[in-house]
Structure 1
Amino acid sequence: MLKEEKLPAEARFYRCTRTAVAAFTHVLCIAFTVFLVFLSRPGSSLFSWHPFLMTLAVSHPPILPHGSPVRKFAHKTKGRIHWVLQCMCVTCAIAGLVVIVHNKNVNDKPHLTSWHGLLGLITVCVIGLQSVAALPLIYHPLAKGWSLAKLKRYHAASGLVTYLLGCATLLLGLCSAWFTAAVSDYTWYLSALCPALSALVIMDQVSRTYTAKKRLQS
């Protein structure tokens, strides 16, 4: 057997840096979710369930090629974990939407009066469509005439768009009167770092991973 070619020092440093940034992103998202739990105190009011559920729905990053805690697991195991997280995401997103709609009805407030509300509704719809569109990856006969490799590329691209929509909605939510009144300026900037950094890391890893695969296949 041929020995694996050793990567240059610059390439190893770059790979280690990407892994460290991705790992830090996971830790930051967990810390942000825990912070929102303490801030919103789910159960203290009807509205309190909305930020809690929506944070659970969109704050966790997907399984990444670099830096993910499960990256060394078997492909089938990672697929199952991904589906569990996706089901949790869809459930929390729909529940969070139902809560805020009911809360506005109870308090006789108008719906969809902010960019956060409009983009949030679009994001929830896209999350649902993304999940349904991913079914052919499990039941390949549903997509006759489509190769599994092409389905994975489209799924990754649409998943990236969906996650960016979620991050944008989360950022707009941080601009709401409820959040800005509950935190200081420094805390707000630290909180905004979570969706912003997650979006950048995932854009980088997804684009580079599938670009590299395309080069290898060409």
Structure 2
Amino acid sequence: MLAVVAQLGLFIYFGTLTGVLTKAPWVYPYSWHPIFMGLYGFVATEGILLLQPSETGKQRALSRTVHGVLLSLSFVCAIIGFWAIYDNKDRKKKEHFTSNHALLGCAAVFVFALQVLFGLSIAYAPKALYRRIGQARITRIHRVAGYISIALLWGTLWLAVVTNWVKRNFNQEWIFYLGMGMLAVGLVGQITPSRLYLTRKRKSVAVSAP
């Protein structure tokens, strides 16, 4: 049920963003910024939601592969979106990183880049590289970093709702907030202490017969 709520929230937010994009006038290269940053947010969130259900057996390997592909694709979208707004500022002779939206967005992309590179190294680097750290600890670090990364991403998307571009082309911001609220409930509700490795598995103790 929580997964369905999260998916509905995701489609409400990005469906609304798509409507704003079709209404807004095309401005090169700025218009590429909301398009590709929107794709970055959508695909990255889907990549996180994909791993929320408990997987077993063959499903686990497949979901991790799709997870890696989606997050790598979303990183490419983030780079294109970053280039669009940076080039747009240069063309207009404006200063970079002057708003909270820009600063948080820059932090989100940077942390996301580290997370993607770390995930790829876990998947494809020699296993001996992380042998001393231990698989359980590596998984915990990657998972917690993923939650931090997605929080930064959605913080940026929240600040995007109050930008002048959105206000000029859309006056029903509450729809964005509805989508974000549903996603927050659906996603956070699935984060359990066991998924964060905050609880330890109980070890069974064999009792010898008297």
Shorter chain as denominator, the TM-score bin is: 0.7 to 0.9
Match of 1:170 in 2: 157
Contact 1:65–1:209 (Cα < 8 Å) also in 2: no
1:28 and 2:9 aligned: yes
Q: Which residue of 2 aligns with 1:50?
A: 33
Give the structure-2-normalised TM-score. Answer: 0.81
* Paired residue total: 195
Report deviation, 1:183. 1.6
1:143 to 130, 146, 150: 130
1:126 equivalent to 2:111? Answer yes
Is 1:206 aligned to residue 188 of structure 2? Answer: no
1:32–1:194 CA contact under 8 A, matched in 2 = yes
Verify the 8 A CA contact 1:116 1:173 in the aligned structure 2.
Answer: yes
Are the counterparts in 2 of residues 136 and 143 from structure 1 also a CA contact under 8 Å?
no
Unaligned runs of 5+ in 1: 1-19
- Where do 1:65-80 residues align within 5 Å? 65-66=52-53, 74-80=59-65
For structure 2, the residue ranges without an aligned partner over 5 or more in a row are: 204-210
Structure 1 SS opposite 2:189: helix
Aligned-pair Cα RMSD in Å: 2.6
Q: If the length of structure 1 is used for normalisation, what is the TM-score? A: 0.79
CA–CA distance in 1 between the matches of 2:118 and 2:76? 16
Counterparts of 1:143 and 1:176, CA distance in 2: 43
Q: Where in structure 2 are the equivalents of 1:85-100 lying within 5 Å?
A: 85-100=70-85
Displacement of 1:207 = 3.5
How far apart are the structure 2 equivalents of 1:195 and 1:141? 41
- Partner Cα distance (2:141, 2:120) in 1: 13
Residue 166 of structure 2 corresponds to residue 179 of structure 1: yes
Aligned counterpart, 1:3: none
| 1:111 CA drift (Å) | 1.1
Q: Does 1:115 align with 2:100?
A: yes
Instruction: Report which structure shows greater RCO (CA 8 Å, sep ≥6).
Output: 2
Shift of 1:64: 4.1
Percent identity, aligned pairs only, is 24
Q: Distance in 1 between matches of 2:79 and 2:176?
A: 23
